[in-house]
Amino acid sequence: MERVVTKLIRNEGGLINEIKIEIYCEDTVRDL
């Protein structure tokens, strides 16, 4: 899942969005 999302984000906007998605994933795991 994370790898697929990262690839999509790279195509859209580059490293900045990639960092955001990583933070989002971490927050989601913490909530679970």
- How large is the angle between the packed helices 15-31 and 2-13, nearest 10 degrees? 150
Domain count, the chain: 1
Predicted local confidence at residue 21, as pLDDT: 72
In the predicted structure, residue 29 carries a pLDDT above the cut 70: no
Provide Rg for the chain, Cα atoms. Answer: 10
Task: Give the angle subtended at the CA of 27 by the CAs of 26 and 32, to the nearest 5°.
Answer: 100
- Whole domain around residue 6: which residue ranges? 2-31
Asked if residues 5 and 21 have their Cβ atoms less than 8 Å apart, the reply is yes
Amino acid making up residue 17? N
Verdict on whether the full-model pTM lies above 0.75:
no
